[in-house]
Structure 1
């Protein structure tokens, strides 16, 4: 009998995701629960499941950063050729919020007043007969300053810009979800 280590990895990752989700739910209130499914290749499944096993989050922690001028901060991620929310991988020993703050500093160089968790997204990850899941915490924060400075050590982010919510670029990842979030909250 051949034992497939991906099954064990997926199970361990799901257990870690469950713990991470419950910690978020216990710590924060008044956030939106979202859910989506990602079908990925076997190598990508292994990568994402390994991240989830380590941190509970396959894609790290992100931040919706806005200004009172009804503008949203987006960064240009060259790896996916899209405008995205600032954010990224959680390092060992970091909380999700600490990771989001660090990533915001690296990718846009702007200070922000964190207001809490905006979205706790459950991401189901599937590959053939394997399944696991992870959580993607998205925080919200208000910024006063307009000056931006990209100092991304991963060289994935090439620009950071403020966009009016009413005029987000067409190539914004999760554009409709961001607009729906904007409609639900008062800034």
Structure 2
């Protein structure tokens, strides 16, 4: 008889996610906390839960970069066929912010000054009665200059990088409503 250890992996991932969330909450203030649920295959659940168990996050760390007060940077991710915020996996020994900064440079060739945490998105993962969750930290930053972004992703997943006016964020942008909510929150500052 084969024992399905997904329940154990899911529990370990949940514990790590809680630790990660509380660490972010202790070190940052005034950030949005969206919640998203992803129904995934068993294989994908195992992959994402393993990432969460290891780092606390299923999708790594990301950055929402502003320029000229009303523009944000998006990259075209071919793996999901959507515009997304630049970001990705966290390497061993790397902080979330360091990972976000590295990914921004790799995916768009942009440098930015980081201002804090914009969002700590809770990503609920579900599959065949199994469930767990992880945190996706999204940092806020301002572009250091007016550089034109260049997609030069070493992973080959990013095919384009562009500045978009907040009024022109493409419909096929992942978590688009979260970006609008964040922009509204910083526009009031």
- TM-score, scaled relative to structure 2: 0.95
The equivalent residue for 1:93 is 93
What is the deviation of 1:50? 0.5
The equivalent residue for 2:172 is 171
- Match status 1:62 vs 2:81: no
The equivalent residue for 2:157 is 156
What is the CA–CA distance in structure 1 between the aligned matches of 2:75 and 2:147, rounded to whole Å? 14
The equivalent residue for 1:26 is 26
Q: Which runs of 4+ in 1 moved over 3 A?
A: none
The number of aligned residues is: 187
- Residue ranges of structure 1 left out of the alignment (5+ in a row): none
- Match status 1:6 vs 2:6: yes
- TM-score, scaled relative to structure 1: 0.95
The equivalent residue for 2:44 is 44
Give runs of aligned pairs for residues 118-129 of structure 1, distance below 5 A. Answer: 118-129=118-129
What is the CA–CA distance in structure 1 between the aligned matches of 2:177 and 2:28, rounded to whole Å? 24
SS in 2 for 1:150: coil
What is the CA–CA distance in structure 1 between the aligned matches of 2:69 and 2:53, rounded to whole Å? 40
In structure 2, do the counterparts of structure 1 residues 46 and 71 end up closer, same or farther at CA, with 3 Å as the change threshold? same
What is the CA–CA distance in structure 2 between the aligned matches of 1:93 and 1:40, rounded to whole Å? 28
RMSD: 1.3
What is the CA–CA distance in structure 1 between the aligned matches of 2:7 and 2:175, rounded to whole Å? 30
Q: Assess if the C-alpha contact under 8 Å between 1:111 and 1:145 holds in 2.
A: no
